[in-house]
Chains A and B, each alone.
Chain A
Amino acid sequence: MFVAKVIGNVWATRKHRHLKNLKLLIVKAIDPLDNSKFIGDATLAVDKDIDAGPGDIVLVLDEGNSARKVLGDPKAPIRTAIVGVVDRLKYKKVKSEM
């Protein structure tokens, strides 16, 4: 799982029968310790009942079997799913040089 920011949404009329009634959001991973720093490439994630929107910091699951389980559809061709909205992140700084 990773922490990401929702940076957009996609709409599509023609889509796979198991993607119907699902929200498609573009997410981009962020540095959990610095919300303004993006990491890597943007990807398309599915949102079933989390109701996230552009600008939200979310928790993203990036594994097929778990995503299908979360969405409750064992035949959905989905790997990336949004599983939570991040309210707050607490951490302790660790010294990197030992």
Chain B
Amino acid sequence: MKQAKVIGRVFSSRQCCEMDKKTFLLIQPLDWENDEPDGEPIVAADTVGAGAGEKVFYVSAREAAVSFEDWSGDVLTNGPLPPVDAAIVGIKDGKNIIKTEKK
């Protein structure tokens, strides 16, 4: 799982299969150690109700689809896995880190 900051929201009214009722957020991946931006912003589907400016952690690839298994938002669907490749799975409250630079 990687850390990211929510920097915006994506709206779309015409979507492909199984994508409805999901919130899409624009997130900027961050480095875990120094909170510096790491790579380009991406669009991720939200499972927790994150808002702008919040630090979140997300999963990518198949795990993102798995996070929506049986659920779309808070609605039980029992449908097939949706075509998402990044999903926010938690809002970070805080972190402790030990320094790795010196060694």
Contacts and interface: CB of A to CB of B under 8 A. Distances in A.
B97 A8 contact: yes
Interface residues of A, number: 35
Interface SS majority for chain A? strand
Contacts, number: 102
Contacts of B47: 16, 77
Given A13-B91, A44-B2, A8 B96 contact: yes
Contacts of A15: 48, 89-91
Given A41-B38, A44-B2, A44-B57, A77 B100 contact: no
Contacts of A2: none
Interface residues of B, number: 34
A52 B29 CA distance: 26
B62 to A, nearest CB: 6
Interface of B: 1-3, 31-33, 38, 47-50, 57, 59, 61-64, 66-67, 69-70, 87, 89-98, 100, 103
